[in-house]
Amino acid sequence: MSGAAIEMSAVLALLGVAVLALVLSRREQATAIVYGATLVISVIALGNAAMRLIGDPAGVSDLVLPFGLPWLGAHFHLDALAGFFLVVINLGGAIASLYALGYGRHESAPHRVLPFFPAFLAGMNMVVMAADAFSFLFSWEFMSLVSWALVMSHHREADNARAGYVYLVMASLGTLALLLAFGLLAGPQGAYGFAAIKAGTHDPAISALVLALMLLGAGSKAGLVPLHVWLPLAHPAAPSHVSALMSGVMTKVAVYAFIRVVFDLIGQTSWWMSAVILLLGGITAVLGILQAMLEKDLKRLLAYSTIENIGIIFVGLGLALAFRGSGMGVAAALAFTGALFHVVNHSLFKSLLFMGAGAVLTATGERDMEKLGGLIHRMPQTSLAFLAGCLAISALPPLNGFVSEWLAFQAVLQSPQLPDWGLKILVPAIGGLMALTAALVAATFVKTLGIAFLGRPRSEAAERAKEVDMFSLTALFLLAGLCLIGGILPGLVIDALQPLSQALVGSRLPLQSAEPWLSIAPIAETRSSYDGMLVFVFIAVSAAAAAYLIHRLASRAVRRGPAWGCGFPEYSPVAQYSGASFAQPIRRIFATLVLGASETVTMPPPGDTAPARLTVVVVDPIWTKLYLPVTGAIGWTAERLNRLQFLTIRQYLSLVFGALITLLLVLALWP
């Protein structure tokens, strides 16, 4: 069987499991059966895709199935790009299934989740495998709808219905944009196969239009600003393992769609297109992380941070496009590799963090960080894994997040050699935005870890928390381990990505496994190099030495006394430093301008013993300035058109008649 056939069999098997889940879903053992099955199938699909990526990266295996459009059939393929994203999807799917073996037992409505989970995995696999516009759009819409069903699985909870509605509207908008983009690419002769689209030449104006539509279509699924509004609503609403898949993996499917069309199918692009992508990516990164910083809901914070990471990935893609258009092959390969590496990394640590949040949710029933605290004593293993995730997402060496951001910054540093002045000025500015983002990410995750896991419990639920089950912990530590391996052995990942780089930007980085001591040197060793293993060994040795020395020298001299209570005579958990207070300086500096954050202090009149109140309001200006006017306009028009619902039969007939006559008149008078 060819690689594509094995992948499609896996998809079929997943769909079969979905049907089985529909039958079984009310039974007790359904959870174990369904997630066990998806785990096995995902591992098989993962192995197949990885073999293809490592063993035969240049090969393409095709599969044509006899359904879909009658004259077209359904084309599926497995090339290097698809193989890479299949690895990301199925790795995420396998670990999410493993996690759900434990987490799923706490699900209150399993019959709303079990049938859709395998179908969701199947949908994402199908999108990546699709090799013609029709199968692609079908799979895409299937993925959207199934994920919508998962978002709505707890539909009775407040806000979830609204989240589902906003998601549905945005997903339809995105699919519409993709539909138009493929229509433009196919041209008047209707070449809907990807191979035919690639073989044809496209007018520059058409290319620009397709790029704009792809930014709209793939960008709305990925969460590019200003199309991100649904993401922080919908991702947290789903059960946590699904949130992990949506944030960690489904956004990557959108990135895949963007790469497939913009890098693979369009062909040559002009420089200002990359400028647009760069700008959008930079703004997305900063806005996403600023909103994450101000968020107190743990899962929503993670969703905002997904927006930020998507911004970084798009900056990398924009840089790759800019370098490719300017004929700077190695720099393009560097930026492209950085972006794809970040795709892998983000899928790993975002899944880890969402699953950690799910573990916290299971243990305490709380998503509000201001009601957590002190979990490191009650859930030490979860806390350790969550810490690893926080370090990785904050891009601290020796974990994987550092490597991909380092590659992206190395690419930014290549910008002085760009021939175009506009880009020459823009790229360093974007680099500045990314540096700001990196710092804000670190602050955000210091806040997340510090408020939720350190300190003292802020609620009874947090006080009674217990460590979660073994399946969940295994999944968490598996992800944490992968984050560490990715950081220590980045050369392996970079080398595995080079066939993609060769295929899509036309050049590759030097072979990293040839570098001594596991170090990586993407351009040349004289310019820059990084050795994750060395940093890891150094940190491990110096930390161990420091701990030993402190224990040896200082622990003896321990003096026990009352803790300093910040001047409060009665030290209660409520008086602890809160997430909002941690975020306050950053909120005042950045968010007042960007997010319209405002605070009002209400003082009781003299003599009144009521407490003073500090109210903080943060509004998303994109929602109020962009979305509300649009919804308002649609509502106004709909109200005016409502009259059409109450005409008489004769008036309706007259409308039809009038329309017919008008069309005939136009036809008759057309020159």
Partner 1 sequence: MNGLSFDVAHLLAGGLVLISFMMLYQDRLYSLLNIFAMQAVVLALAVAWQAFVQDAPHLYVTALIALVLKAIIIPVALHRTIERLGIHREVETVVGIGLTMLAGIGLVALSLLLMLRVTIGVDALAREDLSFALCVVLLGLLMMVTRRNAVSQIVGFMSLENGLVLAATGAKGMPLVVEISVAFSVLVAFIVIGVFLFRIRERFDTVDVGALHRSRGDSE
If the CB atoms of residues 600 and 648 are measured against partner 1, the closer one turns out to be 648
If the CB atoms of residues 619 and 661 are measured against partner 1, the closer one turns out to be 661
If the CB atoms of residues 513 and 662 are measured against partner 1, the closer one turns out to be 662
Rg over alpha carbons for the chain, rounded to the nearest Å, is 26
CA–CA distance, 564 with 160 (Å, rounded to integer): 43
Q: Are 345 and 493 in contact (CB under 8 A)?
A: no
Residues in 359-388 at the binding interface with partner 1, rule: CB under 8 A: none
Strand partners, 600: 615
Q: Which listed residue (205, 514, 566, 668) binds partner 1 by CB under 8 A?
A: 668
If the CB atoms of residues 623 and 657 are measured against partner 1, the closer one turns out to be 657
Shortest gap between Cβ of 637 and partner 1 (angstroms)?
Answer: 22
Shortest gap between Cβ of 650 and partner 1 (angstroms)?
Answer: 6
CA–CA distance, 513 with 518 (Å, rounded to integer): 7
Residues in 482-541 at the binding interface with partner 1, rule: CB under 8 A: none
CA–CA distance, 253 with 257 (Å, rounded to integer): 6
Residues in 622-661 at the binding interface with partner 1, rule: CB under 8 A: 646, 648-650, 653-654, 656-657, 660-661
CA–CA distance, 453 with 353 (Å, rounded to integer): 13
Shortest gap between Cβ of 641 and partner 1 (angstroms)?
Answer: 17
Residue 2 CB neighbours (<10 A): 14
609's tokens? 């013993």
- Between CA 342 and CA 501, with CA 50 as vertex, the angle to 5 degrees is 50
3-state DSSP call for residue 237? helix
Residues in binding contact with partner 1, number by CB under 8 A: 14
If the CB atoms of residues 630 and 669 are measured against partner 1, the closer one turns out to be 669
Shortest gap between Cβ of 653 and partner 1 (angstroms)?
Answer: 5
Shortest gap between Cβ of 62 and partner 1 (angstroms)?
Answer: 40
Full DSSP string of 408-421 = HHHHHTTGGG-S-H
State the amino acid at position 81 in one-letter form.
L
Judged by CB under 8 A, the stretch of 308-316, 576-584, 598-606, 662-670 that binds partner 1 is: 662-670
Binding mask 269-308 for partner 1 (x = CB under 8 A): ----------------------------------------
Shortest gap between Cβ of 257 and partner 1 (angstroms)?
Answer: 43
If the CB atoms of residues 524 and 664 are measured against partner 1, the closer one turns out to be 664
Residues in 389-428 at the binding interface with partner 1, rule: CB under 8 A: none
If the CB atoms of residues 524 and 661 are measured against partner 1, the closer one turns out to be 661
What is the biggest distance separating any 2 CA atoms in the chain, rounded to whole angstroms?
101
CA–CA distance, 443 with 586 (Å, rounded to integer): 9
Binding mask 421-440 for partner 1 (x = CB under 8 A): --------------------
CA–CA distance, 6 with 45 (Å, rounded to integer): 7
Please state the φ and ψ torsions of residue 65, each to the nearest 5 degrees.
-105, 145
CA–CA distance, 479 with 91 (Å, rounded to integer): 10
Residues in 100-159 at the binding interface with partner 1, rule: CB under 8 A: none
Residue 606 CB neighbours (<10 A): 5
Shortest gap between Cβ of 651 and partner 1 (angstroms)?
Answer: 9
Shortest gap between Cβ of 188 and partner 1 (angstroms)?
Answer: 22
Residue 231 CB neighbours (<10 A): 28
Residues contributing to the site for partner 1 (CB under 8 A):
646, 648-650, 653-654, 656-657, 660-661, 664-665, 667-668
